[in-house]
Amino acid sequence: MTMSKTGILKSSLSKKYVMAFTGLFLCIFLVGHLIGNVQLFSTGPEGQAAFNSYAEFMTSNPLIKLMSYLTYASVLFHVVDGFVLTIKNRKARPVNYVVEKGNLNSSWASRNMALLGTILLVFIVTHMQHFWWTMHFGDIIMVDGVKDLHTVVMDFFNPTVNRLAAVMTGLYVFAMISMGFHLNHGFQSAFQSLGLNHPKYTPMIQFVGKAFSVIVPAGFASLPIYLFLIQS
Amino acid sequence: MNITLKVWRQKGPSSVGAMETHQMTEVSGDMSFLEMMDVLNDRLVREGKEPFAFDHDCREGICGTCSMFINGEAHGPGRNVTTCQLHMRSFKDGETIHVEPWRSAAFPIIKDLTVDRSSFDRIIQAGGYVSVNTSGATQDANSIPIPKHDADEAFDSATCIGCGACVATCKNSSAMLFVSAKVSQLSLLPQGKAESNERVLRMVDQMDLEGFGNCTNTGACEVECPKGISLTNIARMNREFLSSNLTSK
């Protein structure tokens, strides 16, 4: 039997497998991250101690470390692969239609995954600068022998401490809405790319995907809104 | 009815094209879209002007030759119809209709509304066949038991007429719906299964070489396909390509 001439890694389909695998892994990451965030709804000293020790655990546990490296790799491959695919897809139609009505045959999110992904990339970079960088390399106060990330987050969305708190909350919510649309298409699309399409299971996958794309971003967005409102 | 037509005019493959406006009067709602184009061309010829080049053959929706992008949709408005099956009653009196060729790097324009779809032929040549000796001593196909469901599914995939509407409508100019239908119609049946691993690798390779874009699962192809070819074909090909690559020696 002959191996694919272009090789599996160079094939257009393989690029789709990479998008699907990394995308689904990042969905798992989102669930983990959200579970951590929910603890921030406890704003008092007890919540502070609990969240800070949780943050300490998340940055020191070797298994979590491995997962975090897999997450960085997934983001990197998802972004690079997505960029390569977008360029190739643009080249596949050198002259555009004068009139094109994509809205009659496909969802807006499915046609704008690259745009939504770019918004998310900008969000991830700034988000990591605000919290990840501060936690790892920033000037951070120690409370009870652990870094006080709880106060960093609280202050970030506190308009009396951070004069840009309102803008940051707004941008955070905007990024989460973008993520909702990205997931709305991406979740179910990943299964299709991997060939997992079945009359019995596909409607279930689509339902779970739609629910995931609403619940997870809403969960993330609710925290900065809550922190901003109780501190205003 | 009266119609304002804006039709793509392009002298040759390397020329720059543009939309050209023509007024159509007394258009009957019972005319097919191609018959309306015939009336326009007839008038242009009588006026000593160049008629529009467009592809057409059977005019009954089974040959896959007609190929116009009408008002932003492959084969125009309406579902499960080719341009030749599209009637002028689908449009309103006084409407402006934009007519463009399929646009894809893999479907270069020959002239006006005609494009070169031989890339599809080369994909078929790469593996879209069953290697059987047709000397006359071939086995009767009915002697191989095939479950009704499999036969129906293979037939549904085989109804693809290779018109290229999927490529034309896909925002990435992806040929996945066409190629996957051709992979499926053979791999679903025992006669085609024997070569299915090698077939999917060869056909996907050729598809990539032709310069089609990548599938992003928007589902536009399935909606615009005149034969209603399902996205399940694409999933099947994704599956077959992965397993064939992993198991190939």
User: Tens digit of pLDDT for each residue in A29-77?
Assistant: 999 999 999 999 999 999 999 999 999 999 899 999 999 999 999 999 9
Closest CA to B75 of B155, B190, B163, B199: B163
- Domains of chain A (ranges; CATH) run 13-231 (1.20.1300.10)
**pLDDT recorded at residue A13:** 93
* CA distance from start to end of chain A: 68
| Interchain proximity A98–B171, CB inside 8 Å | no
- Bridge partners of B109? B115
C-beta neighbour count of A2 within 10 angstroms: 12
Q: How far B36 CA sits from the closest chain A CA (Å)?
A: 20
Query: Which whole number is the average pLDDT over A123-138?
Result: 91
List the structure tokens of B9. 């005019």
B19 near A CB under 8 A:
yes
Per-residue model confidence (pLDDT) at position A144: 86
For the stretch B28-44, pLDDT in tens is: 999 999 999 999 999 99
Which of chain B's residues have a Cβ under 8 Å away from the Cβ of A85?
A: 214, 216
> In chain B, what residues touch A96 (CB-CB under 8 Å)?
103
- Bridge partners of residue B119, in order along the sequence: none
Q: Is the pLDDT of residue A128 over 90?
A: yes
Query: For residue B30, which of B91, B90, B87 has the smallest C-alpha distance?
Result: B87
Q: Which residues between 11 and 40 in chain A have a beta carbon less than 8 angstroms from any beta carbon of chain B? A: 11-17
* A99/B234 touch (CB, cutoff 8 Å), yes or no: no
**CB pair distance less than 8 Å for B171 and A89:** yes
Query: Which of B93, B100, B68 lies closest to B3 in space, CA to CA?
Result: B93
Q: Is A105 helix (H, G, I), strand (E, B) or coil?
A: coil
Q: Write out the two tokens for B113.
A: 């509304």
Q: Which helix (H) or strand (E) holds B119?
A: helix B118-127
Q: Does pLDDT of A1 surpass 50?
A: no
DSSP state of A183: H
- Search chain B and give the residue with CA nearest A199: B232
Closest by Cα among A105, A106, A128 to A33: A128
HEC string of A2-58 equals CCCCCCCCCCHHHHHHHHHHHHHHHHHHHHHHHHHHHHHHCCCHHHHHHHHHHHHHH
Q: What is the largest CA-CA distance in chain A?
A: 69
Region of residue B25 (left: phi > 0; alpha: psi -120 to 50; beta: else): beta
Q: Kind and range of the H or E element at B70?
A: strand B68-70
Q: Are B9 and B109 in contact (CB under 8 A)?
A: no
Domains and CATH numbers, chain B: 3-111 (3.10.20.30), 118-247 (1.10.1060.10)
Spatial distance between the Cα atoms of B161 and B64, rounded to a whole number of angstroms? 5
Are the CB atoms for A147 and A60 separated by under 8 Å? no
pLDDT value at position B216? 97
Q: Who contacts B241 (Cβ-Cβ below 8 Å, separation ≥6)?
A: A4, A11, A13, B200, B201, B204
Interface touch A1/B248, C-beta < 8 Å? yes
> Does A139 contact B at CB distance below 8 Å?
no
Tokens of B22: 């023509």
Q: Of A105-119, A134-148, A194-208, which gets the smallest average pLDDT? A: A134-148
pLDDT value, residue B137: 78
Give the single-character DSSP code of B64.
-
What is the pLDDT at residue A7?
Answer: 57
Contact between B3 and B91 under an 8 Å Cβ cutoff? The reply is yes
Which whole number is the average pLDDT over A89-116? 97
pLDDT in the model for residue A32: 94
Q: Do B213 and A185 touch (CB under 8 A)?
A: no
User: CA B115, CA A3: separation in Å to the nearest integer?
Assistant: 32
**Sites in chain B below the pLDDT cut of 70:** none
CA-nearest residue to B100 within chain A is A97
Nearest-by-Cβ selection for A105 from B174, B208, B223: B223
Identity at B37, one-letter amino acid code: M
pLDDT level of residue A2 (50, 70, 90 thresholds): very low
Residue A145 has pLDDT above 50, yes or no: yes
With tokens 């893999």, the residue in question is B106
Crossing angle of helices A165-193/A202-231, nearest 10°? 170
Q: What average pLDDT does range A94-111 have in this prediction?
A: 96
Residues 6+ apart with CB under 8 A from A95: B17, B103
Residue B140 CA to residue B127 CA, distance in Å, equals 23
Q: What is the pLDDT of residues B91-145, one digit of tens each?
A: 999 999 999 999 999 999 999 999 999 999 999 999 999 998 777 777 787 889 9
| pLDDT for the residue A3 | 47
| Interface subset of A 49-88, CB within 8 angstroms of B | 85, 88
- The complex's ipTM works out to 0.92
Distance CA A152, CA A154 (A): 6
Answer whether B240 sits within 8 Å of A195, measured CB to CB.
yes
